[in-house]
């Protein structure tokens, strides 16, 4: 057994191959049994081929067997011309007398060619390993190592269209079998679910997958700086500054999933005139042979996601590169949620890793590397977590504490201070990706947010989704989450215009607050049942509902005019027709093309859904508020009809959830109208609900599979059934 069979998993080089995990600690040592093969080999049984396995002419069509003179000679037809049932039929005579007498079907089939020895051994090894119930995470050497997506010459600088993924013949290399050339390895899509996939660091396939998925990362809740990520990707696999495998494999999984679904990249409309030019670095364009990638990676997205989850567990146990683990956890949880695997997504430690990194309390400062460090090694020159006193003073305080004044106390985090502005931006954007994921889980289930709003002081994100440097002119205007719910905050009167990405994040906070109204920790009101029992209602108190109403109103006033829906009357383009029909961006170039921006769609679906839930809770105190909730649901329909089918490609899960909530409200409204005798209005409510349901199970479900599950919930309500099956009410 080779010595590397006992290496720990994190020390093994990972490469593109199905990797069954076999615990070699329980395998008995292999002792070959030697026999004198000459005693069993005769010309009559094996032939006299060079390999000892027979005459190579046996596989040809014109070969005739010559039997021993002591046996009765018989005529053997060429391969493929004899009956499969009796092997004695004469050519051209069907059925033959032998088959008729035996009452069997006489048929001809092409006799399969004899497989090479190494292929037979490979299949047998895979069969035995699958029967043993292979355990993942083993340190054993993989039985099959098809390093197909890499070259021995080192990292490739680019991945050109048409470049073959396989650099040469693959080889079998196991503790039991010597290396033999393999003609063509099977596609990775045929790998067993018990296997893992390895992608070699620095290989052309790794670079191709990362470059392909980079334009999608703002909508995957994995914000990255494109140039910084590609630079770190070029480092050695042993360099601690290289991205963690957990982060890479979740990106690989999303890349394969996007390739299979044919999801087009988002091309955001041109920003309005009131915004500065974006500082997002350009993403290098590359020619990628999509068909070649799918031919060998098609169907491997679930395996790559499972590998990412495994690497996340290993990284947590090894206590290294925690910030990368935090980013990977967000991407994994989001991927599970988009597949409808909600409980699994909830169990991913998204909030815990963010708190361990201190992402919820970012002050905006950073500590540059010491000037004595040469620029060539700047990427690895990270200050120690417990740096010198003046460094912490530079990062967290404005000066030395005075005698008798409160002193700064260190709060332990697992990441060192940021090195530059890019790292600060990465951490800020990652925190808000974490918060959006926590809000999504809370809104979807109605459970409390695992990262309370009151604990978060990190400033709001900036830019258009990718990690980019902040604007120098707005460095002094830093507002955090609680400013959104504080009517006296200067944020509501600031002249700084927010991008659609920032506005979508703030609207998600409002939706989460509206969703929490239905599950407050303390009951503010009790009611008496007919039997005299007094029970708590847990209805949201009116003051909290009013506070949310004020926060939504102040937020709407601060939305820049190009981003409003319906567009502001102050716009230079005249409005015509219904109020929910905005002017065409092609006819008026100064109008922002909102339906082409997933963040714009998320912004307004969140706002209408938040207002709908708010009015629904207010109806417990004021009956007429119920009508306002229905109007908000119908406003979402006006938004949906404006979005082309292909523009739903990169929408957030909350956009689909908002459509589902609106459809549920309209169906419940239809039942109330039917009970009141308003049949015509009830039919209209059902018709409006069908518009949203068809959008969920049609264009959105094409790219976001969980939308189909949301549509099924609407169907259950329409049929008068409970919303979900297998869930219970908390007593």
Comparison of pLDDT for 474 and 141, the residue scoring more = 474
Q: What is the pLDDT of residues 185-239, one digit of tens each?
A: 344 444 444 456 788 898 888 998 999 999 999 999 999 998 899 999 998 888 8
As to burial, measured by CB atoms within 10 angstroms (0-12 exposed, 13-18 middle, 19+ buried), residue 424 is buried
Percentage of the chain modeled with pLDDT above 90: 36
| 109-129 tens-digit pLDDT | 666 677 888 888 888 888 787
Q: Please compute the mean of the pLDDT values over residues 155-184 and round it to a whole number.
A: 33
d(CA 598, CA 601) in angstroms, rounded, equals: 5
| Domains in the chain: boundaries | 3-11+134-352, 40-120
Q: What is the pLDDT of residues 341-351, one digit of tens each?
A: 988 999 999 99
pTM of the predicted model over 0.75? no
Distance between CA 104 and CA 98 in Å, rounded? 9
As a whole number of angstroms, the distance between CA 591 and CA 588 comes to: 6
Q: Which residues contact 707 (CB under 8 A, 6 or more apart)?
A: 656, 696, 697, 700, 701
- For 565-593, the pLDDT digits (tens) are 875 443 333 333 333 444 444 444 467 88
Structure-model confidence comparison of residues 242 and 384, the more confident one: 242
Q: For residues 162 and 295, give the distance between their C-alpha atoms in angstroms, rounded to a whole number.
A: 12
Cβ distance 659 to 713 under 8 Å?
no
- Is omega for the bond preceding 221 within 30 degrees of 0, making it cis? no
Q: Quickly count: other Cβ atoms within 10 Å of residue 160's Cβ.
A: 12
Tens digit of each residue's pLDDT (9 = 90 or more) over 68-92 = 556 555 555 555 566 766 766 666 6
Q: What is the pLDDT of residues 527-566, one digit of tens each?
A: 888 888 888 777 888 999 999 999 999 999 999 888 998 7
Would you state the structure tokens that stand for residue 364, as one six-digit string?
Answer: 């905006």
Distance in angstroms (rounded) separating the CA atoms of residues 465 and 327: 15
If you write DSSP's letter for every residue of 436-490 in order, what string do you get?
Answer: HHHHHHHHHH-PPPSS-GGG--PPPP-SSSS--PPPGGGTT----GGGGG-TT-G
Q: What is the CB neighbour count within 10 angstroms for residue 118? A: 17
In terms of Cα–Cα distance, which of 346, 254, 245, 246 is closest to 302? 254
pLDDT, position 614 = 95
């Amino acid at each position: 057994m080779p010595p590397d069979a006992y290496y720990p998993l994190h020390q093994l080089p990972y490469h593109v191959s199905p990797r069954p995990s076999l615990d070699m600690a329980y395998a008995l040592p292999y002792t070959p049994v030697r026999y004198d093969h000459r005693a069993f080999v005769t010309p009559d049984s094996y032939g006299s081929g060079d390999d000892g396995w027979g005459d190579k002419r046996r596989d040809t069509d014109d070969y005739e067997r010559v039997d021993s003179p002591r046996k009765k000679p018989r005529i053997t037809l060429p391969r493929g011309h004899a009956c499969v049932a009796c092997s004695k039929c004469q050519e051209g005579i069907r059925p033959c007398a032998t088959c008729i007498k035996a009452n069997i079907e006489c048929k001809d089939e092409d006799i399969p060619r004899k497989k090479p020895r190494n292929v037979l051994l490979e299949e047998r090894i895979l069969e035995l390993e699958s029967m043993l119930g292979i355990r993942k995470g083993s340190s054993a050497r993989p039985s099959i190592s098809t390093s197909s997506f890499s070259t021995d010459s080192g990292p490739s600088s680019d991945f050109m269209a048409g470049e073959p993924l396989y650099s040469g013949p693959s080889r079998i290399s196991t503790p039991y079998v010597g290396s033999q050339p393999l003609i063509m390895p099977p596609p990775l899509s045929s790998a067993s679910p018990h296997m893992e996939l390895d992608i070699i660091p620095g290989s052309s396939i790794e670079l191709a997958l990362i470059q392909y998925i980079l334009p999608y990362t703002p909508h995957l809740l994995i914000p990255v700086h494109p140039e910084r990520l590609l630079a770190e990707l070029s480092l050695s696999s042993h360099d601690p500054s290289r991205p963690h495998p957990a982060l890479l494999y979740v990106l690989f999984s999303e890349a394969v999933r996007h390739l299979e679904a044919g999801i087009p990249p988002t091309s955001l409309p041109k920003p309005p005139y009131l915004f500065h030019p974006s500082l997002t670095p350009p993403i290098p364009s590359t020619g990628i042979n999509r068909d070649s990638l799918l031919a060998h990676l098609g169907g491997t997205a679930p395996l790559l996601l499972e590998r990412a989850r495994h690497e996340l567990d290993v990284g947590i146990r090894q206590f290294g590169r925690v910030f990368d683990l935090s980013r990977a956890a967000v991407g994994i949880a989001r991927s599970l949620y988009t597949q409808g695997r909600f409980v699994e997504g909830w169990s991913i430690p998204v909030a815990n890793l963010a708190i361990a990194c201190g992402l919820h309390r970012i002050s905006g400062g950073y500590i540059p590397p010491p000037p004595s460090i040469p620029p060539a090694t700047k990427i690895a020159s990270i200050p120690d977590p417990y740096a010198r006193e003046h460094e912490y003073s530079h990062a967290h305080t404005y000066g030395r504490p005075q005698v008798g004044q409160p002193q700064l106390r260190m709060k332990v985090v697992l990441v060192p201070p940021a090195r530059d502005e890019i790292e600060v931006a990465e951490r800020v954007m990652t925190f808000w990706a974490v918060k959006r994921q926590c809000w999504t889980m809370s809104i979807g289930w109605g459970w409390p947010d695992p990262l309370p709003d009151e604990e978060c002081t990190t400033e709001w994100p900036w830019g258009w989704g990718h990690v980019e440097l902040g604007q120098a002119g707005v460095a002094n205007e830093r507002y955090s989450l609680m400013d959104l719910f504080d009517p006296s905050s200067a944020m509501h009167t600031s002249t700084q215009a927010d991008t659609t990405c920032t506005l979508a994040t703030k609207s998600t906070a409002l939706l989460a607050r509206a969703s929490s109204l239905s599950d407050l920790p303390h009951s503010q009101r009790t009611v008496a049942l007919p039997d005299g029992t007094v029970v708590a209602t847990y209805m949201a108190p009116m003051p909290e509902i009013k506070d949310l109403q004020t926060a939504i109103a102040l937020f709407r006033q601060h939305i820049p005019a190009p981003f409003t829906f319906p567009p502001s009357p102050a716009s230079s383009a005249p409005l015509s027709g219904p109020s929910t029909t905005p002017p065409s961006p092609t006819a008026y170039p100064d109008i922002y093309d909102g339906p082409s921006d997933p963040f714009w769609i998320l912004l307004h679906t969140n706002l209408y859904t938040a207002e709908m839930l708010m009015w629904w809770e207010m109806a417990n105190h004021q009956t007429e508020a119920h009508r306002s909730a229905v109007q908000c649901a119908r406003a979402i329909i006006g938004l949906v009809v404006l979005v082309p089918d292909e523009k739903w490609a990169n929408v957030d899960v909350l956009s689909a959830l908002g459509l589902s909530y609106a459809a549920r409200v309209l169906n419940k409204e239809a039942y109330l109208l039917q009970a009141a005798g308003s049949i015509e209005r009830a039919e209209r409510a059902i018709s409006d609900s069908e518009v949203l349901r068809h959008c969920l199970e049609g264009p959105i479900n094409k790219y976001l599979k969980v939308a189909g599950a949301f549509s099924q919930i609407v169907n259950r309500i329409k049929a008068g059934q409970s919303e979900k099956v297998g869930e219970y009410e908390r007593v």
